[in-house]
Structure formats: structure tokens, C-alpha cells
């Protein structure tokens, strides 16, 4: 083989290789174009879907915004109505406040006038208090004098009752005795009665060993029972003086007398005579003769 043929074969081989490479490259580029076209189509579809989603979201957001706007407008309108009502109430309250201020001013004037009147009344009241204090002191002095007089009256009443009992006892002795000169004297030693009787015919009078004392147990109407009986020396017909003991140092209060009509061992009963006070259970009694023979 000649050199030219060898060169021609080599060139043909090189051209074949180059052509193969070109074909391979063209085919590869065509596949790249297809892949790129497919990618572009996929990207376009994705972009369209995303655009539709975005559009839907935008429409939904717009609808939500419109709903929020509508609710906000309703709220604003309600607040405007409330504001108008509050403004009306404020105006009413302002009017009432003005009226209250006017009333307050009037009442303050009246209170000032009343305060002046109160000061005048206080001055008059102080004068009345001073007069009342003077009258109270005078009344206390009069009450003290009245108490002293009442105590003196009670004391004199008891003395009169005792003297009356002594007179009654002496008269009984004179009526029962046959004669001696009997003189009854009051508590201060003043003669009460004097009888001149022959001493020859006067019987001996038994002496009283001790006074008979007791208490009122029960009283009903004019009947009363006492806490002493025949074991203490009580006999029918005896007279007991009824009195109420006073406080320490006070004179007893004479209440009346009791004539015995029934006698038991430890209790007696009789008719109340010459009652001068309210007789109650617990009041004291003493036989009349013990006063006459003291």
C-alpha cells in the first residue's frame, strides 16, 4: 500500500471518529434540550399551580380582610352609638351636677343659718343647764330634808304606836288591878296617864320574862299569821305590834297591830288592826305588853 492510501485511510478514520463524536454530541444535546424542555414544562406547571394557590390564598385573605373590615366597621358603629349614648349621659350628669351644686349652695346657706341658730340654742341650753344644775342642787337638798322629815315622822309614828300600846296596856292593868298609883311614861319620860287606885286591892302583876318576837308568815286581806305560837307564850287576845326594820341606823317603820284569835304550837293568826302601811311577809312583830313593861 502506498503512502497516499495510508494517509487517506488515516484521514477517513479520523473523519469517522469526528463524525461519530459530532453525532454523539448532537444526540446528547438533543437529549439535553428535551430534558430542559421537560424541566421547563414542569416548572411552568408548578409555577401555574403556585400562582393558582397564591391567587386562592390572596382571594381568601381578601375575603377575610373584608370580613374583618365589616366586623370592625360594625364594632366602630357600635362604639359610636355607645359614645353618643355616653355623651348624652355625660350631658345629663353635668346638668344634674349643676343642679346638685345649686342645691348644695342652698343647703350650705341653710346649714350656716342653722349653725347660727344652733349657737344661739347652745347658749340658751348652757343657761338652762346652769339653771337645771341649781335646781338639781336645790332639789337634792329638799329631797334630803324630805328624807330626814320622813325618818322623823316614822320615828314619831313608832313612838306614838309604842305610847298607844303602853296606854292600852296600862289601862288593861288598871281595869284588871285593884289599885296602885300607875304612871305610864313615854320614851322621853313624859307622863301619859295617871290613875289613883287603892294599893290594898291591887293584885300582883306577873312580870314578862322576855318579849315575844316573830315574823309575818302570810297575810291575806285583814288576816295574818305569825311565826310564834303557844310554845313561845302566845295566847288568844294578845296584841302584837307590826313593824319593818330599817337599814343600819334607821328607825323601824310602824305598820299596824295584830290581835291574836287562833294559836297553834308554833304559829298564830289573827286580825290586822290599825294598819298604817303595806304589810308583807317577813315584816317583824313583837307583843304589845313588852313595850309597856320595858
| Domain-embedded: residue 236 | yes
| Domain-embedded: residue 63 | no
| Domain-embedded: residue 23 | no
| Domain-embedded: residue 177 | no
- We report the CATH number of the domain holding residue 262 as 2.40.10.340
Q: Which domain holds residue 256?
A: 207-294
**pTM (global) more than 0.75:** no
- Contact partners, residue 265, CB within 8 Å, separation at least 6: 229, 230, 231
How far, CA to CA in Å, does 163 sit from each of 155, 234, 239, 248, 255?
12, 22, 14, 24, 15
| Domain-embedded: residue 226 | yes
Distance CA 60, CA 137 (A): 102
| Domain-embedded: residue 237 | yes
Instruction: For 22-36, write each residue's pLDDT tens digit.
Output: 888 888 888 888 888
| Domain-embedded: residue 292 | yes
Domains contained in the chain, number: 1
| Domain-embedded: residue 70 | no
pLDDT tens across the length of the chain (294 residues): 688 888 888 888 998 898 988 888 888 888 888 888 888 888 888 888 888 898 888 888 889 989 999 999 999 999 999 999 899 999 989 889 899 888 888 988 888 888 888 888 888 788 788 887 778 777 776 766 666 566 566 666 666 766 676 676 666 665 555 443 433 343 444 443 333 333 333 334 344 457 899 999 999 989 999 999 999 999 999 999 999 987 766 778 889 999 999 999 999 999 999 888 889 999 999 998 876 555
Amino acid at each position: 500500500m502506498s503512502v497516499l492510501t495510508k494517509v487517506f485511510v488515516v484521514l477517513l478514520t479520523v473523519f469517522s471518529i469526528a463524525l461519530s463524536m459530532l453525532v454523539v454530541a448532537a444526540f446528547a444535546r438533543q437529549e439535553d434540550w428535551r430534558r430542559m424542555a421537560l424541566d421547563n414544562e414542569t416548572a411552568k406547571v408548578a409555577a401555574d399551580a403556585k400562582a393558582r394557590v397564591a391567587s386562592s390564598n390572596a382571594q381568601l385573605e381578601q375575603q377575610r380582610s373584608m370580613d374583618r373590615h365589616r366586623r370592625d366597621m360594625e364594632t366602630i358603629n357600635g362604639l359610636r352609638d355607645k359614645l353618643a349614648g355616653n355623651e348624652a349621659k355625660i350631658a345629663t350628669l353635668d346638668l344634674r351636677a349643676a343642679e346638685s351644686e345649686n342645691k348644695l349652695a342652698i343647703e350650705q346657706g341653710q346649714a350656716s343659718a342653722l349653725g347660727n341658730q344652733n349657737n344661739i340654742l347652745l347658749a340658751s341650753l348652757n343657761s338652762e343647764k346652769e339653771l337645771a344644775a341649781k335646781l338639781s342642787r336645790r332639789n337634792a337638798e329638799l329631797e334630803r330634808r324630805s328624807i330626814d322629815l320622813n325618818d322623823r315622822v316614822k320615828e314619831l309614828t313608832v313612838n306614838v304606836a309604842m305610847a298607844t300600846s303602853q296606854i292600852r296596856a296600862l289601862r288593861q292593868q288598871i281595869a284588871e288591878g285593884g289599885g296602885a298609883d300607875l304612871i305610864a311614861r313615854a320614851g322621853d319620860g313624859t307622863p301619859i296617864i295617871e290613875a289613883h287606885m287603892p294599893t290594898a286591892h291591887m293584885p300582883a302583876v306577873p312580870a314578862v320574862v322576855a318579849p315575844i318576837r316573830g315574823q309575818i308568815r302570810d297575810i291575806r286581806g285583814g288576816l295574818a299569821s305569825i311565826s310564834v305560837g303557844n310554845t313561845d307564850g302566845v295566847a288568844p287576845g294578845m296584841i302584837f305590834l307590826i313593824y319593818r326594820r330599817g337599814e343600819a341606823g334607821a328607825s323601824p317603820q310602824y305598820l299596824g297591830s295584830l290581835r291574836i284569835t287562833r294559836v297553834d304550837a308554833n304559829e298564830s293568826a289573827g286580825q290586822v288592826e290599825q294598819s298604817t302601811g303595806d304589810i308583807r311577809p317577813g315584816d317583824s312583830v313583837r307583843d304589845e305588853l313588852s313595850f309597856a313593861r320595858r
